[in-house]
Amino acid sequence: MEQVTQRGLTSAEVAERVALGQVNDVRRRSSRSVSAILRANVLTLFNGVIGVLWVLIMIFGEWQDGLFGLVIVANAGIGIIQELRAKRTLDRLAIVNEAPVRVRRDGAETEIPPRQVVLGDLILLAPGDQLLVDGETVDSDGLEADESLLTGEADPVHKLPGDEVLSGSFVVAGRGSYVATRVGGDAYAARLAEEASAFGLSHSELRDGVTRFIKYVTWLVVPIGALLTWSQVSRRTGVGEAVTSTVAGIVTMIPEGLVLMTSIAFAVGVIRLGRRRCLVQELPAIEILARVDTLCLDKTGTLTSGGMELGEVRGLRDDLPVPEALGALANLDPDPNPTARAVQTRYPDSPGWTVAAKIPFSSARKWSGAEFDGHGCWVLGAPDVLLPPGTPAYTEAGALAATGLRVLALGKVASLRDPDDLGTVEAAAIVVLRQRVRPEAAETLAYFAEQGVTVKVISGDNPESVSAIATSVGIPGGERAVDARTLPDDNPEKLAEIMEANTVFGRVSPHQKRLFVGALQSRGHTVAMTGDGVNDVLALKDADLGVAMGSGSGATRAVAQIVLMNDSFAGLPSVVGEGRRVLANIERVAGLFLTKTFYAIVLSLLTGVIGLAFPFAPRHSTLINALTIGIPAFFLALAPSNERARSGFVPRVLRLAVPAGIICATAVYLSYWIAQSGAATLAESRTSAVITLFVAAWWVLALVARPYVWWRVALVASMAGLFALTLAIPFTREFFALTLRDPAAGGVAAGLGVAAGAVLTGVFAVMRSRRTGPGQGDIQSVQDRSTATLGT
């Protein structure tokens, strides 16, 4: 049985299990299903309301007044198309991002996609591998698994043959293999992740804000709609006219396109980032990075390239076989880590020493070692961990590390029986490795500094070495490095204070990285964490936003919300830009939609109380909404923007939309009342109201569209031109029931719209000054200039 297990499954056994459905087929985290996309875009509350109102118009009114029903088709169609495009982008990148699983089948090792793992597969493990299915350990060579994501326990667990291993854990040290006993939805992590890893639109602060708007409007529509219905029916003007007026008011109250614009903005952001090889595993990640004010970086793999090269080996003892020991340690593992690979470039062959016992490298220990028959016990790792302070070797290693080099100590010990107490280490050599700083690091960090994002460098390397690298790429405060071994783990407040005051931290353990993220979050910071190694997994999981490199470990890529598939740190500004574009533009178009909602509410209340006919018909609402909101919002929602994300989305939009809606409604009703007081017919009075409403709503568009660049000016001007053409062309004038026999009446209506615009300009100026606050005007102007530059 043991021989069969070590050989793995045969091809026939795999085919049999596939036929039985015993395959690791789990839902992909990055996107929701096609059926879910269809339901989310078609079966909405507003689509239902608009559909019912459209049916009423088709029964009791004229078909031209039912044009608003096309909104359902447009909203659903555009939303579905954009989300399906985003889904294709996400799924394509997700497949590329999936770390292959190494299995043994027919006695040979092979790599397969995670979805092709079947029940009974023999899965091989190495440091950094994530366990995707549950199983039982078969072979263990110092195998240690971190199960903290499942159990909360931070200490790695040694796994021996026969021990259970659970999906969701990851290997931090050693090697081994296990047999899959539960796959697909039966695996432990799959059951836990069903909710946590679902498509993430619902967890967006922006999305939640839009949902709150919808909830508020729903509460208002019911009683105001009832009042409007009663007032129109009581006028005894006929059922058709009453229904038409009521529908016009209710339809205008509904911000039907706001949810669509939010979905489109997110979807287009995903597509744009996908073209830059950025995999967004949860859509709110786009938004979160726009809000980030603190970015924690792991030096290795982020500021520096993942690979290293051996610089020199400084022997400290002539009587010790340094080359042989380095060769033996570097060639212990058939799948060496980057450090061992660098040493192998000079010592490619093992001296033939027989291994009696070995301890694999782990980020917590910061060293690895082995006992060789007849040659004693040797260790290779961090000098400040292995060597006694104050010794010449310790001092020499520290001086080299301060120049930005990565330094290791090779030493000999009496025994490896107690890894926690090696006793005295005989220093044999100092090994110097050169790290390559990423060429894009300095420019990228300068971008974050300009954007007001604080950078913290958190690394497991020597503090002096980390400080030298941080200084070379221009990180403020990089010259002062803190040794994390001196920091308190049991005093969160003190730790948070130290984190606020310092920038560079060295000798940070994986557990401390997690504490550091929590300490910064306790001070109200929105924290992003980047990393590529297994020692970054816990911090990435706890951060508000985890960003992994595409070449990082499988466990790291699995827990991150964003994966930089091309390994380029320079990709982060693109993600920030997309996030800021989404937030700023949705806030911008939300102002348009909510202004419409509030002027409709006020007009409906005035109509219900006074008892006049509603100031315009549904076809008028369709025309004005298309020219002042629908068409412009589509372009504004996708425009470039670099405004810094700020909290308070809902109250900020309401502070502008409510007064703007009241001002527009007042001007419209005054225009309508003046026309009704004269000899104007209902059609002429409504035309006056439409002219006033268009001018006032167009003015809101002009204010919201700032700062101006050529295309925004063209957009605003073209909407005015289209309305003028609608009035000038007989066919469109008749189609939209616009009657303008008296030019003076049109002039009065337009004048009232201009007067409303002047008041709106003053209100917007006051609200803008309150938003920026004392001393912040310069900052806002810089942001506006930056936005204008991007827009060109």
Which residues are designated catalytic? 298
Strand, helix or coil for residue 536: helix
Q: Are 56 and 251 in contact (CB under 8 A)?
A: no
Q: Which residue from 785, 290, 294 is spatially nearest to 580, judged by alpha carbons?
A: 290
Is residue 338 classed exposed, middle or buried when 0-12, 13-18 and 19+ CB atoms within 10 A define those classes? middle
Q: Are 508 and 433 in contact (CB under 8 A)?
A: no
Place of tokens 């004005």: 624
Angle at 46 between CA 44 and CA 47, to 5 degrees: 65
Cα 326 to Cα 386: distance, rounded to the nearest angstrom: 16
* Phi–psi pair at 350, nearest 5 degrees: -75, 145
Cα 464 to Cα 461: distance, rounded to the nearest angstrom: 9
Residue 567 zone, left/alpha/beta (φ > 0; ψ -120 to 50; rest):
left
Cα 193 to Cα 181: distance, rounded to the nearest angstrom: 18
Cα 514 to Cα 680: distance, rounded to the nearest angstrom: 72
Q: Which residue from 652, 628, 658, 644 is spatially nearest to 584, judged by alpha carbons?
A: 644
Cα 52 to Cα 49: distance, rounded to the nearest angstrom: 5
Cα 768 to Cα 306: distance, rounded to the nearest angstrom: 47
Q: What is the DSSP string of 51-88?
A: HHHHHHHHHHS-GGGGGGGHHHHHHHHHHHHHHHHHHH
Q: Are 469 and 404 in contact (CB under 8 A)?
A: yes
Q: What is the Cα Rg of the chain in Å?
A: 33
User: How is residue 641 written in tokens?
Assistant: 């923007």
Place of tokens 């593992």: 333
Q: Are 625 and 559 in contact (CB under 8 A)?
A: no
Kindly report the number of other CB atoms within 10 A of residue 82's CB atom.
Answer: 21
Cα 166 to Cα 143: distance, rounded to the nearest angstrom: 14
Q: Which residue from 102, 90, 197 is spatially nearest to 563, judged by alpha carbons?
A: 90
Kindly report the number of other CB atoms within 10 A of residue 712's CB atom.
Answer: 21
User: How is residue 63 written in tokens?
Assistant: 């078909």
Cα 276 to Cα 218: distance, rounded to the nearest angstrom: 40
